[in-house]
Amino acid sequence: MATLRCEGPDGRLAVERDGSWAWGTVGSLQVALDTGDFGTGGAAEVAEEKCLSPLPRAYQFLDGSAYVNHVELVRQARGAQMPESFWHDPLMYQGGSDGFLAPTDPIIGDPDWGIDFEGEIAVITGPVRMGASRDEAAAAIRLVMLCNDVSLRNLIPGELAKGFGFVQSKPACAFSPFAVNPDTLTGWDGGRLHGVLCVDLNGQPFGRADAGRDMTFDFPTLIAHAAKTRNLTAGTIVGSGTVSNKLDGGPGKPVAEGGAGYSCIAEQRMIETIATGAPKTPFLRPGDRVRIWMEDEAGRNIFGTIDQTVEAL
Amino acid sequence: MATLRCEGPDGRLAVERDGSWAWGTVGSLQVALDTGDFGTGGAAEVAEEKCLSPLPRAYQFLDGSAYVNHVELVRQARGAQMPESFWHDPLMYQGGSDGFLAPTDPIIGDPDWGIDFEGEIAVITGPVRMGASRDEAAAAIRLVMLCNDVSLRNLIPGELAKGFGFVQSKPACAFSPFAVNPDTLTGWDGGRLHGVLCVDLNGQPFGRADAGRDMTFDFPTLIAHAAKTRNLTAGTIVGSGTVSNKLDGGPGKPVAEGGAGYSCIAEQRMIETIATGAPKTPFLRPGDRVRIWMEDEAGRNIFGTIDQTVEAL
C-alpha cells in the first residue's frame, strides 16, 4: 500500500498486487482499514517521492520500547539501574498521530532541541477488542512499515521529569513510503520482522541492526498490552521502539568498526559515554540527511526509503 | 454541534442554529473541521441519548492539568512537594483518541483497576501551526465541550513509575453530547469557561466547582504549549484536566458541607487523606452512576449531560 499526495489531508490510496499499482476504490487507507475494502480500479503511478506516510494522520500511534537492550543502555549511560520488571512489562507511550511527515519531508526544528532520528519497525492493526489475547492481537496485524520516530533529546529529560510522558519532545514522525501485508514478507515470523534495518547518516552507514534480534516484546505482545483496558480502532499504529542489537551480550559497535551500529544517535552517544565518559557524536544539524530502509534477501528495497534532511526552524 | 449514531465510525453531524437542528452537509464533524464547511440541509432530530461524543474518534487528544490546585493536592496527599515550575510550565499528556465513549455509554472495566471519573472542560481546535503564539492558539479554538476523562487509579502509579506516561491507566473517555461555538457562550472569556461544572455521583451532588476559577493555564496557553514543536491538525481536542477549586486558599470541602466539592473521586480521597490519614470514599463500582453537565445563568443545560454507569468487565 502507498498513499499519494493529493488535495485532502488523507492522500489517495494505491495498492500493489503482482508488481502493478492501482488506485484503491475507497480513497484512503483509513477508510480501507475501517471497511476492509481494499478493492482497486485504474492503474496508479507511484513514485516514492510523491508518497505521504501510508497513514498521513492516524487515530492512534502507540510506540513501544521493545528492544530492551536500548533501554538498558540509556540507563547505564546515566548510571542508573534498569528495573527488572522492564524485561516482562513493556514500556510504551501514547504518541502524537495527528500529522505525520511524508517519508521525504524535511525535519524542521531548532537544532538546540537535540534533534535525533530513531529507526523502528511499525505495524498497522485492524480493530482490537479490549482484553484481546496475544493470538487475537497477532491476527489483527494488517500492515508492516518502517518509522523514523523523530525525537528532541534535549527536551526529553525536562518533560519526562514532569511525569506525564512526551508531548513537545516527540514531534511529527515519518513512515516508509510503502506499508506491506505481512503475509508477503519472508522475514515476518508472525510477531517480529527479521531483516537488517539500514540507517545511513549523511551517506555513511550508521545502523545495520537486525530487527528480528533482541526484540524482547514482539508486536502481538505490544498490541495486547495496549488493548488491556480499551478497544483499539482500525488504523492503530504500534511501533517497536528503536531497533537495537547487542554484541556478544554487551553494547554494540559502530558499523565502521565492524558492528551493527545504531538506529539513533542517542545510542551511539551512550556507547561513547560508557566508553570514554562523554558523548562525541552531535545530534542532527541543518543539512544533515538520514535514510532508513530495509532490503529483502534479493537486495530489493521492501518498504521504500525514508529520506529526510534537517532544516532549521 | 452534535454527532448522531449511525453505521460508520464517525457518526453523522447535526448543527443547531437559532434553536433548530439540521444535518451537516459534509457528513462528519471531522470533515467539517477539515474543510471549514458547516453548511446544513434537512431538519435533524437530535436526542441526547442518540448522541456520540462530538468527535467519536479524533486524531489527537491532549489533556492538560490546568487546575494546578488539583496537582498540588495529589502531591500533598502522598507527602511530596510540587516543583515550583508547575505554576508556569503546563503539565500535559498525549491521551488516547482513537475511540471515545458516547456520553451515555457504560464505563466498562475491572473494579480492581480503581475506576474514577474526571470532570473537565475541553476545546476542539482548527489547524494550529508549529510555534503558534498564544493569540494564534486562541483564534484556533472552534468548539467547547465537557469531558469525563475516565482514569484507572490503581494502574496509574505503576505506569507513571515507568516514566512514559499513561497508556493502560487512561481508557476511553467520553465527551458531552453537544460541542458549542465559544462565541455563543456567555461564560467564555476567550481563554476560560466560567460556569459551575456539575458532577453528581449516584444522584447526589459531588462537584460544583467553577471552571473559570483557579485555572492556572487557560486554553490558548495549553494549545500553544502543545504546538511548540509540531503542527496540530484540525480536530485536535485539548482538555483542561480535572476542574478543581480552592477554598480560602486551601483544599475545598464536599458539597454536603457547603463546599464546591470535587470533579473526581481521587481528589475527595486526597482531602480525606490529608484530614484523617486515609481515604474513605471508594472508587467506582458496578452500578455506580456519574452525571456531568453545566447550566447557563438561566438554568439551561448548555452541553447536554454525560451520564454514565459503571459495568464490570
Residues of A in contact with B113 (CB under 8 A): 229
Cell reading at B289: 452512576
For chains A and B, what is the number of CB pairs under 8 angstroms?
133
Residues of B in contact with A312 (CB under 8 A): none
State the pLDDT at residue A77: 74
Asked whether the beta carbons of residue B8 and residue A162 sit closer than 8 angstroms, the reply is: no
Half-sphere exposure of A253 (CA within 13 A, CB side): 7
Residues of B in contact with A168 (CB under 8 A): 225-226, 228-229
Residues of B in contact with A106 (CB under 8 A): none
pLDDT confidence tier of residue A281, bands split at 50, 70 and 90:
very high
Q: Which residues pair with B308 in a beta bridge?
A: B290
ipTM greater than 0.95:
yes
Q: Which residues pair with B21 in a beta bridge?
A: B16
| Shortest Cα distance, chain A CAs vs residue B191, angstroms | 21
Question: Do A43 and A52 meet the contact criterion of CB atoms below 8 Å apart?
Answer: no
- For A166, the closest of B8, B94, B233 (CB atoms) is B94
| Shortest Cα distance, chain B CAs vs residue A257, angstroms | 33
Asked whether the beta carbons of residue B162 and residue A91 sit closer than 8 angstroms, the reply is: yes
Residue of B191, B211, B189, B207 lying closest to B199 (CA atoms): B207
Residues of B in contact with A217 (CB under 8 A): none
- For B94, the closest of A59, A155, A167 (CB atoms) is A167
Asked whether the beta carbons of residue A225 and residue B167 sit closer than 8 angstroms, the reply is: yes
Residues A162, A250: Cα–Cα separation, whole Å:
31
pLDDT confidence tier of residue A74, bands split at 50, 70 and 90:
confident
For the CA atoms of A259, A263, A269, A275, what is the dihedral angle to 10 degrees? Answer: -30
Asked whether the beta carbons of residue A98 and residue B8 sit closer than 8 angstroms, the reply is: no
Residues of B in contact with A241 (CB under 8 A): none
Low-confidence ranges of chain B (pLDDT < 70): none
Residue of A nearest to B159 (CA): A91
A interface test, pick of B72, B162, B166, B222 with most A CB neighbours within 10 Å: B162
Tell me the per-residue pLDDT of A200-249, one tens digit each, with 9 for 90 and over: 999 999 999 999 999 999 999 999 999 999 999 999 999 999 999 988 87
Question: Do B253 and B259 meet the contact criterion of CB atoms below 8 Å apart?
Answer: yes
Residues A294, A79: Cα–Cα separation, whole Å:
34
Maximum Cα–Cα distance for chain B, whole Å?
Answer: 59
Asked whether the beta carbons of residue B232 and residue A99 sit closer than 8 angstroms, the reply is: yes
Q: Does residue A46 carry a pLDDT above 90?
A: yes
Cell reading at A282: 552531535
State the pLDDT at residue A79: 78
Asked whether the beta carbons of residue B96 and residue A130 sit closer than 8 angstroms, the reply is: no
Asked whether the beta carbons of residue A160 and residue B163 sit closer than 8 angstroms, the reply is: yes
Asked whether the beta carbons of residue B228 and residue A98 sit closer than 8 angstroms, the reply is: no
CA angle (A12, A14, A18) in 5-degree steps: 180
pLDDT confidence tier of residue A278, bands split at 50, 70 and 90:
very high
State the pLDDT at residue B81: 83
Cell reading at A242: 528503536
Question: Do A221 and A90 meet the contact criterion of CB atoms below 8 Å apart?
Answer: yes
Tell me the per-residue pLDDT of A9-19, one tens digit each, with 9 for 90 and over: 999 999 999 99
Asked whether the beta carbons of residue A57 and residue B59 sit closer than 8 angstroms, the reply is: yes
Asked whether the beta carbons of residue B98 and residue A8 sit closer than 8 angstroms, the reply is: no
Q: Is the torsion defined by CA of B274, B207, B195, B50 positive or negative?
A: positive
Compute φ and ψ for A142, nearest 5 degrees.
-100, -40
State the pLDDT at residue B5: 97
0.95 exceeded by pTM = yes
State the pLDDT at residue A69: 85
State the pLDDT at residue A301: 98
Average pLDDT, chain A: 96
Contact residues for B59 (Cβ-Cβ < 8 A; gap 6+)? A57, A58, A59, A97, A98, A99, B30, B97, B233, B235, B236
Residues of B in contact with A155 (CB under 8 A): 229
Asked whether the beta carbons of residue B229 and residue A171 sit closer than 8 angstroms, the reply is: yes
Write down the residue that cell numbers 523514523 correspond to.
A148
A interface test, pick of B94, B101, B113, B238 with most A CB neighbours within 10 Å: B94
State the pLDDT at residue B228: 98
> Hey, is A64 helix, strand or coil?
strand
Asked whether the beta carbons of residue B164 and residue A92 sit closer than 8 angstroms, the reply is: yes
CA angle (B46, B63, A170) in 5-degree steps: 125
Contact residues for A219 (Cβ-Cβ < 8 A; gap 6+)? A123, A137, A138, A141, A191, A192, A238, A240
Write down the residue that cell numbers 523523530 correspond to.
A150
